[in-house]
Amino acid sequence: MSALLSSPSRVYRIVATAEAVTWAGLLSGMFLKYVTETTELGVSIFGMLHGIVFIAYCVTTTVVAIDQRWSISRLVAGLASSIPPFFTLWFERYAAGRGLLAPTWRLIDESPNRPLERPLSWLLRNPARGLAAGLASVAALTVVALVAGPPVG
């Protein structure tokens, strides 16, 4: 598991790809439900799965943005790329090509200077707790989204 989380570039690529894959599943499910009118199963499965991975992508984007000191506009662009299908793949390549995704976590070696960097640095230096906090964040945000209700459309 530690190799999986070893670098911002690796984590970001994995989560951006997962977000795009779940988009493909959801779009396929929507095709089956609304065009062929054969089954709602794809939307039921991939709708929930995509929602969870969407939230994980947003959490990951925020964590990477803080660690790599992205500008607010880059953070917003990264978050916005989760809305159109497959744009997370484009944004990941854009970020990698511009050196925005380092091979190491900056806050493991550097002292945190900004308020949001302090807790993130601690979580990155304690990977089991950091992973648990990340999963708990995704779970809590998923519950909030479920309570708010499904997207209208």
Q: How far apart are CA 52 and CA 54, in angstroms?
A: 5
Is it the case that residue 1 has pLDDT exceeding 60?
no
Q: How confident is the model at residue 66 (pLDDT cuts 50, 70, 90)?
A: very high
Determine if the pTM surpasses 0.85.
Answer: yes
Tell me, what's the pLDDT at 151? 66
Let me know the angle formed at the C-alpha of 20 by 126 and 123, rounded to the nearest 5 degrees: 10
| CA-only gyration radius of the chain, Å | 17
Q: How confident is the model at residue 5 (pLDDT cuts 50, 70, 90)?
A: confident
Give the pLDDT confidence of 80-120 residue by residue, as tens digits. Answer: 999 999 999 999 999 999 999 999 999 999 999 999 999 99
User: Residues with Cβ < 8 Å from 75, sequence gap 6 or more?
Assistant: 61, 62, 65
Mean pLDDT of 2-27: 91
Distance of CA 149 to CAs 22, 73, 80, Å?
A: 19, 29, 21
Tokens of 26: 């959801």
Report the 10 Å Cβ neighbour count for 92: 25
Any idea of the CA torsion for 17, 19, 24, 30, to the nearest 10 degrees? Answer: 180
Residue 102 near residue 10, CB atoms below 8 Å: no
Tell me, what's the pLDDT at 153? 59
Residue 48, classified by CB atoms within 10 Å of its CB into exposed (0-12), middle (13-18) or buried (19+), is middle
Tokens of 116: 């949001």
Give the pLDDT confidence of 40-57 residue by residue, as tens digits. Answer: 999 999 999 999 999 999
109 against 2, higher pLDDT? 109
